[in-house]
Amino acid sequence: MPPFGGEGVNAALLDAACLAQRLVESADYSATLRAFEADMFERVEEMARESADAAATFLSHDSLAETLAMYRQRQERMQAAELGLR
């Protein structure tokens, strides 16, 4: 996961704890690992996509304009939410 969302280490620590717990509870390691991976990918999919989008924005050839547009959109959404329009 690109380091643009601040979620990578948190996700990795939770992954380690969840996997360890599942391995302690089951003797079928192959099935346990497949089930864990399915749950893990579902849980981190949105975070990973947002992080990749942020990386693409911040590292693009037009990063200043794209970053400013992203922050303006975020500000508009927050203001609309505050006004109860969303």
Supply the pLDDT for residue 35: 96
Supply the pLDDT for residue 5: 67
- Return the higher-pLDDT residue of 40 and 1: 40
Helices (H), the chain: 8-25, 29-58, 63-82
d(CA 26, CA 43): 21
d(CA 62, CA 50): 18
Supply the pLDDT for residue 58: 81
Q: Determine if the pTM surpasses 0.85.
A: no
Q: What is the pLDDT of residues 18-76, one digit of tens each?
A: 999 999 999 999 999 999 999 999 999 988 888 888 888 888 888 889 888 888 998 99
